[in-house]
Amino acid sequence: MQITLKPGRERALTKRHPWVFSGAIAQAPQNNSTIVEIYSADGQWLARGMWNSQSQISVRILTWNIDEVIDGLWLRQRITQAYRMRMLLPAYTDANAMRIVHGESDLLPGLIIDRYGDYLSVQLLSRGMDAMRADIIRALVDIFQPKGIIERSDDDMRTLEGLPPSQGVLWGEAPPESLIIRHPTGLLETINIDGGQKTGGYLDQALNRIAVAAYASGAEVLDCFCYNGGFSVATALGGAQSIVAVDSSASALTALQNDMQLNGAASTPLEICEADVFKQLRHYRDNERQFDLIILDPPKFAHSQAQVERATRAYKDINWLAIRLLRPGGILATYSCSGLVSADLFQKVIFGAAVDAHRDVQIIERHTQAPDHPVLLSFPEGEYLKGLVCRVY
Ligand code: SAH
């Protein structure tokens, strides 16, 4: 099947950006086949990709090489290449938890594969990958011989592709409800692949937790949006005096308590708080409670361009409150995983919060997603996590 672009609309493709938007297409295929050939207006072959008439992103490119055939073998080679790259990451050789395929950034658009011990957690976020599910399962079984492959395609990106959510065991055994995994930092986490958030956990923060823990010695820590307590465990082991962990999820807070034990951090005084962070920060402000180290790691606030403004207001609100709660000289480790909020915009939002809190704030570290979530230069959209570690005076 063939797709012809409008004149001039091949520019992004010649820079190897992997998406073709519906507005760039002059002539679309009549049927709804999955694999399509893309041609420029003057008839030049440009790339081969996956077609979805129901998505704004009409085509996701699979190859720029006319000789490359898209089949099960091709898929297996791409996944193997992605896995080899992880095995070459210094910190990851002893880890049994890592992202193995990071979608577009690993030249597999819409495919996410996370490894949690002997289990693989998979998200099929594009129509093309959904259609290739049998080949994906076969390739994963061949390469990894996992105990089980679990689908967690319950992300909102499926809706944009016109696909229903899909979740369950794709192959092999169902994972245990509490699976202990080892991060590249050596920290252990109890994961529930089937019932947890995202694909089960937040692998992207693995290294940042240790970086933040370097500021924890003797500190009264407030870990907001703590989930299973990745930052709580790390800061406890980093010598925190006490920790308050806040999240709205009761099951995450149970896992957190378990993980403190598991990592030998149970002697650090821990206060668990099941609450809305926005309200809880106000409660601490009203009670003049103070901390030395505050972590803000909220969920994605901006899911579309239309939500960016509201998201920046939410970021500003929690950061303004957190800055106020810090003792002079305290540390704020603040994150945004909204890809649509750029690093530049995020920094401006934190600046606005500092101004309103009447405090001087210095950036001392800039964080990003862990290296098992690489960023392809031709696809800067793949860089979604940004963090600032700040000294607040
Ligand atoms: N810091 C975690 C990841 C956080 S993910 C880690 O290192 O693994 C975001 C978390 O925010 C989720 O656990 C979710 O349950 C929680 N959450 C979302 N909205 C919230 C709210 N308004 N108040 C409190 N917690 C919230």
Q: Is the pLDDT of residue 29 over 90?
A: no
Residue 337 bears catalytic tag? yes
Mutation to probe ligand 1, out of 185, 244, 247 (largest number of atoms < 8 A from CB): 247
Can you tell me which atom of ligand 1 is nearest the CA of 249? 15
Can you tell me which atom of ligand 1 is nearest the CA of 335? 1
For residues 392 and 333, is the Cβ–Cβ distance under 8 A? Answer: no
pLDDT given at position 200 = 86
Can you tell me which atom of ligand 1 is nearest the CA of 201? 8
For residues 124 and 166, is the Cβ–Cβ distance under 8 A? Answer: yes
Q: Give the position of tokens 């603040």.
A: 334
Q: Is the pLDDT of residue 49 over 80?
A: yes
Q: Give 131-184 pLDDT, tens digit per residue.
A: 999 999 999 999 999 999 999 998 788 888 899 999 999 999 999 999 999 999
Q: How many Å apart are CA 222 and CA 359, to the nearest integer? A: 19
Can you tell me which atom of ligand 1 is nearest the CA of 223? 1
pLDDT given at position 229 = 96
pTM for the whole structure: 0.95
Percent of the chain at pLDDT > 90 equals 90
The strand pair at 19-21 and 57-63 is best described as antiparallel
Q: Is 267 helix (H, G, I), strand (E, B) or coil?
A: coil
Q: Between 25 and 29, whose confidence is greater?
A: 25
List 224, 226, 273, 337, catalytic entry: 337
Q: What are phi and psi of 63, to 5 degrees?
A: -155, 150
Mutation to probe ligand 1, out of 225, 251, 310 (largest number of atoms < 8 A from CB): 225
pLDDT given at position 34 = 87
Going from the Cα of 33 to the center of ligand 1, the distance in angstroms, rounded, reads 39
Q: How many Å apart are CA 222 and CA 226, to the nearest integer? A: 9
The strand pair at 291-296 and 326-336 is best described as parallel
Determine the straight-line distance between the first and last CA of the chain, rounded to whole angstroms.
61
Going from the Cα of 247 to the center of ligand 1, the distance in angstroms, rounded, reads 5
Ligand 1 atom 23, closest CA: 276
The strand pair at 119-124 and 148-153 is best described as parallel
pLDDT given at position 157 = 84
Can you tell me which atom of ligand 1 is nearest the CA of 205? 7
Going from the Cα of 229 to the center of ligand 1, the distance in angstroms, rounded, reads 10
pLDDT given at position 344 = 97
Going from the Cα of 300 to the center of ligand 1, the distance in angstroms, rounded, reads 9
pLDDT given at position 67 = 97
Q: How many Å apart are CA 104 and CA 20, to the nearest integer? A: 13
- For 76, residues 6+ apart whose C-beta sits below 8 A from its C-beta are 138, 139, 142, 143
Structure-block tokens of residue 4: 């012809």
Going from the Cα of 8 to the center of ligand 1, the distance in angstroms, rounded, reads 43
Q: Is the pLDDT of residue 274 over 90?
A: yes
- For 306, residues 6+ apart whose C-beta sits below 8 A from its C-beta are none
pLDDT given at position 28 = 81
Q: Give 187-243 pLDDT, tens digit per residue.
A: 999 999 988 888 889 999 999 999 999 999 999 999 999 999 999 999 999 999 999
Split at pLDDT 50, 70, 90, the class of 365 is very high
Cα–Cα distances in angstroms (integers) from residue 213 to residues 89, 111, 327, in the given order: 22, 32, 18
Q: How many Å apart are CA 91 and CA 307, to the nearest integer? A: 36
Tally DSSP H helices, then E strands, for the chain. Answer: 11, 20
Q: Is 105 helix (H, G, I), strand (E, B) or coil?
A: helix
Q: Is the pLDDT of residue 284 over 90?
A: yes
Average pLDDT taken over every residue of the chain: 95
Ligand 1 atom 16, closest CA: 225
Q: Give 376-393 pLDDT, tens digit per residue.
A: 999 999 999 999 999 999
pLDDT given at position 231 = 98
Residues lining ligand 1, Cβ inside 6 A: 197, 202, 205, 225-228, 230-231, 247-249, 252, 276-278, 297-299
Residues in the chain: 393
Q: Is 250 helix (H, G, I), strand (E, B) or coil?
A: helix
- The closest alpha carbon to 193, from 104, 242, 255, 248, belongs to 255
Q: How many Å apart are CA 214 and CA 185, to the nearest integer? A: 13
Helix intervals (H) in 214-358: 230-237, 250-262, 277-286, 308-325, 343-356
Ligand 1 atom 11, closest CA: 225
Q: How many Å apart are CA 322 and CA 225, to the nearest integer? A: 13
Q: How many Å apart are CA 84 and CA 31, to the nearest integer? A: 37
Amino acid letter for position 151: E
Going from the Cα of 224 to the center of ligand 1, the distance in angstroms, rounded, reads 7
Q: Is the pLDDT of residue 354 over 90?
A: yes
Q: How many Å apart are CA 368 and CA 337, to the nearest integer? A: 9
Q: Is the pLDDT of residue 257 over 90?
A: yes
Q: What is the maximum span of the chain, computed from C-alpha positions, in angstroms?
A: 70
Q: Is the pLDDT of residue 297 over 80?
A: yes
